[in-house]
Amino acid sequence: MQITLKPVKSSTKVFKYLEKKGLISVLKPTDKALKTRTKTGTVDILYTSNKRFGSHRLMCIGKRTKKVQLCYHFDNEDFIFINPGNIDYQKLYLVFALDKIDVFSKKLSKNLLSSKDFVAVEIVYNDPNLSFFTMLKKTVHCEVVKDEDKQHPVFFVTESSDLKNNKIKHKDLTITVGD
């Protein structure tokens, strides 16, 4: 028996059909992430894989945080900034410390940090070169939004299912992101 298939172009119609058949799940913002009204936002876990296959989870993040609260993780996490609905989001910034946690902590404890130790990157959505990347382990970072009269931003993160968010105590250090 031989089966010859004629390829079809990717389209919304084809993907909706595959989704209806229970074969795929298209990444799109969840109602929980879009409608959150909490001060900092919400995390909506889309799924966590079975540990026997090497456990990870996929999350939809609705971000409302306006204050920089730095953190780090002991393993990598992947960021996916897609906006399939072309929603007009508030600006989202990803603040990076330019040193990993060990060096950063020493500078913090000695009060040696300055603006030269950080970069705040304005996130772009739907760019194949800039909207998908891995945050490497022990990278000090934080996501914050610009206070605008728009929908707060939503994005996706995939990471190990037991990965902890290690918040850094920096009450004597205030970081702001301005235009």
Residue 50 belongs to domain with CATH number = 2.60.120.10
End-to-end CA distance of the chain: 65
Q: Is the pLDDT of residue 9 over 90?
A: no
Specify if 72 maps to a domain. yes
Predicted confidence at residue 154, as pLDDT, reads: 96
DSSP 55-112: -EEEEEEEE---S---EE-SS-EEEE---TT---BPPEEEEEEEEEHHHHHHHHHTT-
What separation in angstroms does the CA of 165 have from each of 99, 137, 153, 172? 18, 11, 20, 20
> Residue range 83-112: average pLDDT?
94
> Residue range 6-12: average pLDDT?
82
Specify if 88 maps to a domain. yes
Specify if 178 maps to a domain. no
Domain count along the chain: 1
Specify if 19 maps to a domain. no
| Mean pLDDT of the chain, nearest integer | 91
Specify if 175 maps to a domain. no
- Whether 132 contacts 124, CB under 8 Å: no
Q: Check residues 3 and 38 and name the one with the higher pLDDT.
A: 38
Model confidence, pTM: 0.84
